[in-house]
């Protein structure tokens, strides 16, 4: 069953055509990559799926349900989690609070309970704190739970952001350049982490990535866009030999390097 | 494993609060400080309530709100109108109990009037928030300021609709029912309410709006709802403070609620540390006492120089402590509860990424107690 199905998705910013007739579908458990040169419209597609930007035209279905016109938080509550290209953790909040926030829609107590700090509040708060702490432990962040996110090193912030997205218990996780700003070693570790998380949490993953080694190493299928239009799709091996992709994006040298690797 | 630390720190808190209350009650009943300074202290606490409200709107939610005085005024006039009529027409039920002398009918109506003033401010905030809260940043600031100007003009001309409000001449004849015990009770309630709200899932949702609205949205937080909630509660605090103010000074003039007066709580919040409750309270006291203290300290004829000196103090604070005197640091019972660190199984890849602590995978529930 396809988790996400996108039909003829189009976005105009004024006269600028950012995305045009984008068709895409991703099945349960798949790990699919979206690549393309800068400004090709990749993040715009992500933003339309999370309904941060309303699409100009087209249809987006998640688990068989149309999500166009919903609010971003509704889409998130349906089960689409995502990270951003630049790290956007809540810098002024503690690591624990960043993750605990993910449980807010299921907090199970009202404002009244919060203001009174009654028994229901204490019980639920304890439960969600424990769940959040489990997540922090999984990511090795448990000792940093009380630190402000803004004071963490870059790599830790990255992990907080992924932990936070996963804590919303998404069915579909969209990762926007998960290895940006990392050195090659860290990037490879991120590849392992992504694979591990997919298996552990039974995730479907849709990712944008510029680092070809990461994309080729982790994705089962790849879609390539340029100027808002799909120019190729297929398995990694097909993509790196596709002349259109080589011309628009990879370049001859990169294609050779990848072929040799 | 993993237990929320149940800190039993309510006793020192209680003692501290009783000490504050008792000292003030003691020195005023023995006339050790003049009525004037008692009023100053009460007005500092009232300002603290209003500033706490603004701190929720600006400090925690991140809305640049320059219209707090409008809601302060709405609360003041609403409650004043109720008690104005009640004190003249309502029944009298004098009570003499254990040496306490008060009028039950008047006291009950005072509390109801304060509640009504606070609720009126909250309702107006909700309605005005519907269009205005779509705006962000500077645009919201201008809109809230504009709203304050409208309210000011309405107060100035209110006598055409309700004669006793007396418009630009100022409303008189409000009973003087605000006393230190009430100010104290409401300040403490406001403080505890705010603390409990901030340290809850609702509070985290509100703070996440300040931090990054889009990121909060994609985590499933209904940011529009919580922005409205914070704005409404913050205005409720302003309305409550306004009601207390009206019954302390018994005279209301529209200039007390002009937009320039919105700068006072704003300065206090920034001065104390936006996003911090302790700082806001401390700054309210410091600010009020600097202003009033300078009035006494400065030589006769030079009193208005305090409006030169206190901005200079502000300037110094902002230069040397841009986060405010206390920043987001909280003291005593305003601190968040400590939470014990929990350990469960760890992802091997995640563990090796950056951290060089020993592998703990497999050793599930290291600190297992339950």
Spell out the SS3 assignment of A10-42.
Answer: EEEECCEEEEEEEEEEEECCCEEEEECCCCCCH
The predicted pLDDT at position B357 comes to: 39
Find chain B residues with C-beta within 8 A of A139's C-beta. 346-347, 350
| Of residues B56, B82, B70, B45, the one with CA closest to residue B232 | B56
Q: Do B351 and A140 touch (CB under 8 A)?
A: yes
In chain A, domain spans: 1-79+170-261, 87-169
Tokens matching residue B316? 């110094």
Decide: B287 and B271 in contact? Cβ < 8 Å.
yes
Given an 8 Å threshold on Cβ–Cβ distance, is B214 in contact with A115? no
Phi, psi of A5 (to 5 degrees): -130, 120
Three-state SS at B107: helix
- Averaged pLDDT of chain A: 91
Enumerate the residues of chain A whose CB falls inside 8 A of the CB of residue B207: 90, 92-93, 97
Contacts of A166 in chain B (CB under 8 A): none
| Backbone dihedral angles phi then psi of residue A71, each to the nearest 5 degrees | -85, 155
Nearest to A139 among B197, B210, B347 (CB): B347
Low-confidence ranges of chain B (pLDDT < 70): 1-9, 99, 343-370
Q: How much is the pLDDT for B346?
A: 57
Query: What pLDDT is stored for residue B353 in this prediction?
Result: 46
Q: Is the fold of A1-79+170-261 the same as that of A87-169?
A: yes
- Mean pLDDT across the stretch A31-45? 92
pLDDT (0 to 100) of residue B9: 65
- For B327, the closest chain A residue by CA position comes to A92
Helices within B321-366 (DSSP H only)? 348-352
Complex confidence, ipTM = 0.91
pLDDT in tens, A189-245: 888 889 999 999 999 999 999 888 888 889 999 999 999 999 999 999 898 888 888
Q: Is the Cβ pair A159, B214 closer than 8 Å?
A: no
Verify whether the Cβ–Cβ distance B218 to A72 is below 8 Å: yes
Residues A87-169: name the CATH superfamily.
P-loop containing nucleotide triphosphate hydrolases (3.40.50.300)
What pLDDT shows up at residue B343?
66
DSSP string for A114-182: HHHT-HHHHHHHHHHHHHHHHHHHHTT-GGGTTSBGGGS-HHHHHHHHHHHHHHT--SEEEEE-TTTT-
pTM of the complete model: 0.89
B350·A138 Cβ contact <8 A: yes
Interface test with A, best of B206, B215, B226, B236 (most A CBs within 10 A): B215
A137 touches B: beta carbon within 8 Å? yes
Architecture of domain A1-79+170-261: 3-Layer(aba) Sandwich (3.40)
Q: pLDDT tens digits for A245-261?
A: 888 888 888 888 887 76
Predicted pLDDT of residue A97: 95
Given a cut of 70, is residue A22 above it in pLDDT? yes
Q: Which of A73, A155, A193 lies closest to B217 in CB terms?
A: A73
pLDDT in tens, A129-152: 999 998 898 888 989 999 999 999
Contact B188, B287 (CB under 8 A): no
**Which domains occur in chain B, in start order?**
10-339 (1.10.3470), 344-370 (no CATH)
Q: What is the nearest CA distance from B58 to chain A, expressed in angstroms?
A: 14
Of chain A residues 45-74, which have a CB less than 8 A from chain B? Answer: 50, 52, 71-73
Q: Of A213, A216, A215, A155, whose CA–CA distance to A186 is shortest? A: A155
Q: Do A72 and B208 touch (CB under 8 A)?
A: no
């Amino acid at each position: 069953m396809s988790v996400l199905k996108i039909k003829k998705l189009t976005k105009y910013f004024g006269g600028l055509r950012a995305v045009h007739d984008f068709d895409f579908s991703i099945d349960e458990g798949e790990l699919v990559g979206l690549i393309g040169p800068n400004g090709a419209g990749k993040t715009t597609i992500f933003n339309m799926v999370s309904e941060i930007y309303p699409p100009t035209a087209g249809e987006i279905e998640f688990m068989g349900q149309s999500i166009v016109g919903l609010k971003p938080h509704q889409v998130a509550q349906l089960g689409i989690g995502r990270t951003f290209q630049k790290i956007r953790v809540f810098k002024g909040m503690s690591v624990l609070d960043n993750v605990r926030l993910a449980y807010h829609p299921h907090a199970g107590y009202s404002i009244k309970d919060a203001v009174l700090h009654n028994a229901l509040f204490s019980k639920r708060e304890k439960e969600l704190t424990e769940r959040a702490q489990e997540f922090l432990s999984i990511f090795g962040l448990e000792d940093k739970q009380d630190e402000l996110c803004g004071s963490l090193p870059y790599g830790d912030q990255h992990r907080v952001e992924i932990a936070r997205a996963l804590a919303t218990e998404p069915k579909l996780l969209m990762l926007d350049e998960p290895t940006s700003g990392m050195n090659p070693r860290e990037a490879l570790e991120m590849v392992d982490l992504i694979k591990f998380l997919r298996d552990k949490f039974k995730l479907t993953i849709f990712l944008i990535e510029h680092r070809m080694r990461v994309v080729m190493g982790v994705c089962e299928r790849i879609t390539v866009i340029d100027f808002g239009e799909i120019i190729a799709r297929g398995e990694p091996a097909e993509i790196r030999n596709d002349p259109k992709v080589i011309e628009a994006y990879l370049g001859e040298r990169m294609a050779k390097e990848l072929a040799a690797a | 494993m993993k237990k929320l630390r149940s800190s039993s720190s309510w006793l020192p808190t209680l003692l501290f609060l009783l000490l504050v209350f008792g000292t003030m009650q003691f020195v005023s009943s023995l006339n050790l400080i003049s009525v004037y300074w008692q009023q100053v202290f009460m007005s500092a606490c009232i300002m603290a309530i209003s500033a706490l409200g603004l701190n929720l709107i600006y400090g925690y939610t991140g809305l640049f709100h320059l219209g707090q005085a409008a809601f302060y005024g709405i609360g003041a006039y609403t409650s004043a109108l109720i008690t104005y009529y009640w004190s003249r027409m309502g029944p009298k039920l004098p009570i003499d109990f254990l040496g306490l002398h008060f009028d039950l009918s008047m006291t009950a109506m005072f509390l109801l009037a304060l509640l009504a003033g606070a609720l009126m401010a909250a309702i107006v905030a909700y309605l005005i928030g519907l269009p205005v809260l779509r705006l962000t940043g500077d645009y919201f600031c201008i809109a809230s300021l504009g709203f304050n100007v409208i309210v000011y003009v309405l107060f100035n001309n209110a006598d055409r609709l309700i004669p006793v409000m007396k418009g630009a001449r100022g409303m008189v004849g409000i009973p003087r029912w605000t006393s230190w015990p009430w100010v104290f009770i409401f300040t403490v309630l406001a403080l505890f309410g705010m603390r409990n709200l901030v340290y809850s899932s609702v509070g985290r949702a509100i703070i996440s709006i300040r931090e990054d609205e889009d990121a909060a949205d994609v985590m499933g937080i209904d940011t529009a709802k919580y922005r409205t909630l914070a704005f409404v509660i913050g205005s409720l605090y302003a309305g409550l403070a306004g009601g207390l103010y009206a019954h302390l000074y018994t005279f209301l003039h529209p200039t007390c609620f002009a937009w320039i007066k919105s700068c006072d709580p704003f300065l206090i919040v920034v001065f104390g540390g936006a996003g911090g409750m302790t700082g806001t309270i401390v700054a309210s006291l410091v600010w009020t006492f600097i202003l009033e203290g300078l009035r006494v300290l400065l030589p006769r004829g030079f009193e208005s120089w305090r409006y030169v000196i206190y901005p200079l103090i502000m300037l110094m604070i902002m230069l040397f402590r841009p986060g405010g005197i206390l920043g987001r640091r909280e003291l005593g019972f305003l601190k968040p509860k400590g939470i014990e660190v929990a350990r469960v199984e760890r992802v091997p890849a995640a563990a090796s990424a950056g951290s060089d602590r020993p592998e703990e995978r497999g050793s599930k529930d290291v600190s297992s107690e339950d």
